[in-house]
Structure 1
Amino acid sequence: MPPLELLRIPANLWQTMHDHVVACLPEEACGLLAGRDGLVTLAIPVENAAHSPVRYRMEPRAQVGELLSIEARGLDLIGIYHSHPNGPAVPSATDLAEAYDPETLSLIWCSGRRGWSVRAFALRGGQPTEVTVEVLPAE
């Protein structure tokens, strides 16, 4: 499958992620993005079992349950989102080392002086390649 060059997210799902990221402060937030062909149709918050401001680890049972639900709905896992509450919106060395699926995008939320910034990356071969993010009108 060719790498995605555009990730499209409806505004209501964007807001779901934003609300989750803010609610988890000061810890990193994490979750799953599901859909088809680069269009996100589900944004699923998942508990950060690491409870850390510099690291996330999805709660394993919740993660597996949500992945099975995505599959049962006939959707694809498009991406994983997480936040860097005190860091840049780029993949960390840990993000790169732990990226297990080159087809799954990494969407990173970062808090800065001007609010939240969000960037998406394909993490293939340990090298991040930025992917354009488009926020669509709410569904």
Structure 2
Amino acid sequence: MSRELRLSLTQKAMILHHVIRHLPEEACGLLGGRGETVSVVILVTNHLHSPVRFRMDPNELLRALERLDAEGLDLVGIFHSHPRGPAMPSETDLLEYAYPDSLMVIVSPVGEDWQLRAFEINIEMRTYQEAHLIIETE
């Protein structure tokens, strides 16, 4: 059974705004919460400023993780965009993924719109399985 991740419409809009604002670069951030529910989206700068790779700014990442800890939240996911697709983890994503037990959310274009997909990454095997992403109305 695949894992689930729950985002609100407001959280989805926040992620999409961040992604669109940083085009053509990949955008990234953290998703904090408990269990399968996201309660906070933390936007982080792509330190590489690249359209095909991301690395979270180390200072912002540290502050974000400290915030999650201070608020008693878990790192339930990370997100980043693939501005030109595909809507699935790349080989680089699998090689560089360093967030065990959290889901990877990829934001990618579909025609004139954007889609969000969540994936569970097996770090040792460098494989992935799609998770069920639920966007909840508030």
Q: Would you say same fold, with TM above 0.5?
A: yes
Partner of 1:27, secondary structure, is: coil
Q: Which residue of 2 aligns with 1:131?
A: 131
What is the one-letter code of the residue matched to 1:49? H
Give the alignment of 1:32-111 within 5 angstroms.
Answer: 32-111=30-109
| Matched-pair identity in % | 41
Q: Which residue of 1 aligns with 2:28?
A: 30
CA shift digits 1:49-81 (9 cap, x unpaired):
100100001100000011011011000000110
User: Would you say the 8 A contact 1:9–1:40 is kept in 2?
Assistant: yes
**Aligned partners of 1:84 and 1:14: how far apart in 2?**
16
**Aligned partners of 2:110 and 2:135: how far apart in 1?**
20
Unaligned runs of 5+ in 1: none
- CA RMSD, aligned part only? 1.3
User: Would you say the 8 A contact 1:48–1:57 is kept in 2?
Assistant: yes
Task: Give me the TM-score of the superposition, normalised by structure 2.
Answer: 0.94
Q: How many residues align?
A: 136
Runs of 4+ aligned residues of structure 1 deviating over 4 Å after TM superposition are none
Unaligned runs of 5+ in 2: none
1:114 is displaced (CA, Å) by 4.2
What is the one-letter code of the residue matched to 1:26? P
User: Would you say the 8 A contact 1:102–1:122 is kept in 2?
Assistant: no
